[in-house]
Chain A
Amino acid sequence: MKMFVPLAAACLLASASAAHAADPNLGRNLAATCANCHGTNGNAVKGSGIDGLAGIPKDKTLQKLADFRSGDKPASIMHQIVKGYTDAQLDLIATYFAAQK
């Protein structure tokens, strides 16, 4: 049990300083709003014709989203959806998906 003490202490510190701050699962929650189309945790159904996002490097996803927003990358719907999220939210989403298998 001893080895868990530092971790538990770190958790306490983290949650104390995080009082009134963002939910620690914010990235997970935001990314889940994409899952209806892009699959749970970004694993789209194979053959569904919709891009999976799991494991895609963060910069690549962010660039794609920026291109949808600017119109550089033509889209049927993503140019409308990307405008509903803040840059900070898109960053959290791209970070979350990059870490998924």
Chain B
Amino acid sequence: MMLMKRRDFLKVGAAAGAMASLYGCAGGGKASGHVVVVGGGYGGATVAKYLRMWSEGGVQVTLIERNPTFISCPISNLVIGGQKTMEDITISYEGLRNKWGVRVIQDDVVAVDATKRTVSLKGGSALSYDRLVLSPGVDFMWDEIPALKGAEAQSKVLHAWKAGPQTVALRKQLESMKDGGVYAISIPKAPYRCPPGPYERACLVANYFKQSKPKSKVVILDANEDVMSKKGLFTKAWSDLYKGIVEYRNNSEVKDVEVGSNTAVLEFDKFKADVLNIIPPHRAGDIAHKSGIKLVNNRWVDINWLSMESTSTPGIHVLGDAIFPAPTMPKSGHMANQHGKLAAAAILNMLSGQEPNPEPVVMNTCYSFVDSKNVIHVSSVHQYDAATKTVQPVKGAGGVSAARNELEGKVALGWAQNIWADMLA
């Protein structure tokens, strides 16, 4: 195990030194130090860019991501529905490297030593940090769907709940399904990543069937008691647009799968599909579990809302889907981006000997396509509340679309362009 020399790294960072300019009083002392970020998704890419931007190049940032490029989950349901391609949702890390001077390493973080303040990479090296940010997203609890534990079973019964090869594979399964076939999607009990996401996918698959395989059906097996997000708007889309195609079943938790026959095993019942899309229950990404930091329900990371720092382990901040959420807060890319900015501001204060901002605010917007053009949204704003030490949804703010509409279809694509640029460009 070899520690990368900080000196070598400073050379890389120097390119961005040109950005540094004279500081006024703004942040008090100027922040410096080395922040390591694990995961280059919605949370991780954002915190990396904002640390560099707001410190004017003063803080060194290393981002470790196992994938060579960023692939977005938002908009990936349009790839499955046939409106977009993988190219449309894939973005390189060159902007973070070249424009912001982030050192991006493609590798897997396999261990964290919170006492020595180091992370170990699969490639064999180790890095030391002043502050560590984990934004590893989610990993699946395969024990809950025992037949899907093996890699081969997982390649047949797909989740496509992390955008990438599975997104393409699910589209292929749908394309090769015969007309008159049944696509079933299972939703785990909340909380899960992107509350409206499975219902959006059901709509877009139904839209594809309506146009290309009109005798086919979409069955939603929801482990929850009811539709978890934008209920009125989704059920209206199913009855207006997909009557006879979409069937919604509540309280239908999938306990296991018979892989050979694409059969979902429910508590009292079985359901056989032609294309079976199982979204298993998930929890904070594995590295959060290996770090030894405090988890809630052995699933999600417990954090301090002023800094996104672990409540148990100083120096480790956690963002995005991996955290135990604040009241009514969804696990979304939009929210992970907001976490990234909250953490960047807090880390810069802490690295320059200041307290974190005592009154952070985060907000959320999630757009869902119900067909190729019409979109519905849900929004919320969350302000820090000192009494409960968490961010609370502001009463009277936020809400959902009045009705599905094409204007928001355009806004949803504009949202994607802007959030991708806000993270990566």
Contacts and interface: CB of A to CB of B under 8 A. Distances in A.
Contact of A36 (B27, B410, B415): B415
Nearest to B394: A84
A84 B394 CA distance: 6
Given A15-B25, A32-B341, A81 B379 contact: yes
Given A35-B422, A85-B381, A14 B398 contact: no
Interface in B12-41: 24-28
A83 interface: yes
Interface in B367-399: 377, 379-383, 394, 396-399
Nearest to B26: A24
A40 B415 CA distance: 12
Given A14-B25, A25-B357, A81 B397 contact: yes
Nearest to A19: B355
For chain A, which range describes its interface: under 10, 10 to 19, 20 to 34, or 35 or more residues? 35 or more
Contacts of B338: 33, 36
A87 B379 CA distance: 19
B405 interface: yes
Q: Mostly helix, strand, loop or mixed at chain A's interface?
A: helix
Given A39-B422, A48-B414, A83 B397 contact: yes
A24 B149 CA distance: 51
A50 interface: yes
A33 B361 contact: yes
B338 to A, nearest CB: 6
Of the listed residues A25, A26, A77, the one surrounded by the most CB atoms of chain B closer than 10 A to its CB is A77
Contact of B361 (A7, A35, A45, A89): A89
Interface in A42-101: 44-45, 47-50, 76-77, 80-85, 89
Contacts of B363: 33, 81, 84
A40 B422 contact: yes
A39 B424 CA distance: 12
A39 B26 contact: no
Contacts of A11: 24-25, 28
B154 interface: no
B10 to A, nearest CB: 24
Nearest to A13: B25
A98 to B, nearest CB: 17
Nearest to A30: B361
Nearest to A36: B419
A70 to B, nearest CB: 14
Interface residues of B, number: 52
A48 B417 CA distance: 7
B44 interface: no
B408 interface: yes
Given A29-B341, A81-B397, A84-B381, A37 B419 contact: yes
B279 interface: no
A77 B28 contact: no
Interface string A1-24: 000000100110011000000111
A76 B25 contact: no
Contacts of A29: 341-342, 345, 357, 360-361
A72 to B, nearest CB: 17
A26 B405 contact: no
Nearest to B341: A32
B61 to A, nearest CB: 16
A39 B419 CA distance: 7
Contacts of A26: 357, 359
Central interface residue in B338, B357, B398, B425, by most chain A CB within 10 Å: B357
Contacts of A80: 379, 397-399
Contact of A15 (B28, B398, B401, B407): B28
Contacts of A76: 377, 401, 405, 407-408, 411
A80 B401 CA distance: 10
A67 to B, nearest CB: 16
B341 A77 contact: no
A25 B397 contact: no
Given A36-B419, A80-B399, 8 more contacts: A14-B25, A29-B357, A32-B50, A33-B363, A35-B422, A36-B422, A48-B414, A50-B414
14 contacts: A10-B25, A14-B25, A24-B25, A29-B357, A29-B361, A36-B338, A36-B422, A48-B414, A76-B408, A80-B397, A80-B399, A82-B397, A84-B363, A84-B397
- Shortest 8 CB-CB contacts between residues of A and residues of B: A84-B381, A84-B397, A23-B357, A83-B397, A48-B414, A11-B25, A84-B394, A49-B414
